Amino acid sequence: MKKYLYLLMVTIMVTVMSELQVAGMMPAMSADLGVTTGQIGLLVSVYAAGMMIGGPLFAWFLRHSPPKGALLTIVALYAVAQVLVPVVDAFWWVAIVRVITGALAGASFGLSVTYGAALAESPQKIGEAVSIVLGGIMVGTVLGLPLSNFISNFWNWQASFYVLGVITFVLFLASLAILPKRGAATQDAAAQDVRNLRMPRLWARYLVSLLTIGAAYASFSFFTPLLEENAGFSTNTTTIILLVYGVCAYIGNMIVGKFADRHAIAVLRTGHGLLLVALVLLAAFNYIQPLTLVMVIIVGFVGITMNPALVTRVAEVGGAGTMVSTIHTAVISAGVALGSAVSSATMGTFGHDDPGVAMWTGAVLAILAAIVLATQSRSREKASAVPA
């Protein structure tokens, strides 16, 4: 079964690579499209907005379909949309198609997680199966940003979208040939999945995910200009640093995955604390190259790598159904949009397009995430202390 899970992991990897590719090409896209770096950062936000809004809509309409057919439909449409991005050399066109690709990505993310749960060898191994699928987030992070940065420098930013379009088409053919068929969810299971969305506890955990991912992406979306313009690293060195960041994120994900099931809250507390320290130092001392390098690596270890712990906390309450998983994807995407958009706004308002301001934005969101988590943890401890 693991070979099927790894194929689903690649599906998520491709969507993450697409989401992050703009962050690796900001200077080139900004110059070519005639807009500011902050405006290019909004392309990350609109992609996430597409995931947030369109993903659940696709999942709703496909919730009674067999998982293989539903996923293949989304992947095929995604391949077409990806190659349409650079067809018209205008910012408005790129933004529109990024919303569409984001919507398809959100659906593929939720469907992949649900499909992975269905392919688990037993109910006791659903968590393990889903963790393999979610590994695509880290692999996509390892490859997406530095790959787009390399392609943009070697050819142009448009080539990055064509390359990912071809990769997605190959993925479609592989999934068509390899993925096993599974029956659609029963009416009762689909109905229960929707009913779970009414639970306030589930939305409280969604809120922690929103703020945590928002904190990570408020900074990460602007790492390329921070490294090149503020810290003074060369373009090639920046590509290497971003690759190292991705490798650290993958390693951090494996470490978090070992502890997420039993120690999710402790993992998140530690992650929020380390992320806050790293972002404050990046904001204040980004002109010091050695310090900037170390802090970027730390963000790689503790930023988006908190995702397995976030998923574990959501599954504890709402299960791993298509709608719960896709809505969580939408919430995470909202976090990406929140972080990138707020950083773009603060950069334009307070920082004269200075990416160092984005680090302060991420730090504030990390504080808010830690506060919300602490509130939930105290409520849980009080409930546990009440005598039966």
Residue type, 329: T
Mean pLDDT value across residues 207-218: 93
pLDDT digits 0-9 by tens, 271-288: 999 999 999 999 999 999
Average pLDDT, the chain: 84
Which SS3 state, helix, strand or coil, does residue 300 take?
helix
Q: Per-residue pLDDT for 13 more than 80? A: yes
- Higher-pLDDT residue of 30, 187: 30
- Higher-pLDDT residue of 115, 277: 277
Mean pLDDT value across residues 83-110: 87
Q: Per-residue pLDDT for 126 more than 80? A: no
Which SS3 state, helix, strand or coil, does residue 232 take?
coil
SS3 content of the chain, % helix, strand, coil (to 5): 85, 0, 15
Percentage of the residues of the chain whose pLDDT score is greater than 70 = 93
Q: Per-residue pLDDT for 379 more than 90? A: no
pTM for the complete prediction? 0.77
What is the DSSP track for 69-82? Answer: HHHHHHHHHHHHHH
Distance between CA atoms of 338 and 353, rounded to whole angstroms? 17
Domain boundaries, the chain: 1-184, 196-379
CATH superfamily of 1-184: MFS general substrate transporter like domains (1.20.1250.20)
Distance between CA atoms of 12 and 6, rounded to whole angstroms? 10
Name the packing angle between helices 322-350 and 356-385 (round to 10°): 140
Q: Per-residue pLDDT for 206 more than 90? A: yes
Cα 181 to chain center, whole Å? 27
Task: Calculate Rg over the CA atoms of the chain.
Answer: 20
Q: Which of 291, 22, 250, 243 is nearest to 138 (CA)?
A: 250
Answer whether 244's CB lies under 8 Å from 47's CB: no
- Higher-pLDDT residue of 290, 386: 290
Which SS3 state, helix, strand or coil, does residue 250 take?
helix
Q: Which of 362, 348, 365, 340 is nearest to 45 (CA)?
A: 340
| Predicted confidence band of residue 385 (pLDDT cuts 50, 70, 90) | very low
Distance between CA atoms of 152 and 146, rounded to whole angstroms? 10
* Per-residue confidence (pLDDT) for residue 387, from 0 to 100: 45
* Per-residue confidence (pLDDT) for residue 278, from 0 to 100: 96
Answer whether 338's CB lies under 8 Å from 220's CB: no
| CATH 3.30.310.50, applies to 196-379 | no
* Per-residue confidence (pLDDT) for residue 108, from 0 to 100: 87
Answer whether 252's CB lies under 8 Å from 305's CB: yes
- Interior/surface letters 147-184, b for 16+ CB within 10 angstroms, e for the rest: bbbbbbbeeebbebbebbbebbbebbeebeeebeeeeb
The token pair that represents 307 in the structure block: 């995702």
pLDDT digits 0-9 by tens, 33-63: 888 877 887 887 788 778 878 878 887 887 7
Burial group, residue 290, by CB count within 10 angstroms (0-12, 13-18, 19+):
exposed
Query: Contacts by 250-253 with C-beta closer than 8 Å and gap 24+?
Result: 250/135, 250/138, 250/139, 250/141, 250/142, 251/301, 252/138, 252/300, 252/301, 252/302, 252/305, 253/134, 253/135, 253/137, 253/138, 253/305, 253/307, 253/308
Q: Per-residue pLDDT for 384 more than 60? A: no
* Per-residue confidence (pLDDT) for residue 363, from 0 to 100: 95
Q: Per-residue pLDDT for 102 more than 50? A: yes
pLDDT digits 0-9 by tens, 226-277: 999 899 999 889 888 988 887 888 788 778 877 877 788 999 999 999 999 9
Q: Per-residue pLDDT for 359 more than 90? A: yes
Percentage of the residues of the chain whose pLDDT score is greater than 90 = 25
Q: Are 1-184 and 196-379 in the same CATH fold?
A: yes
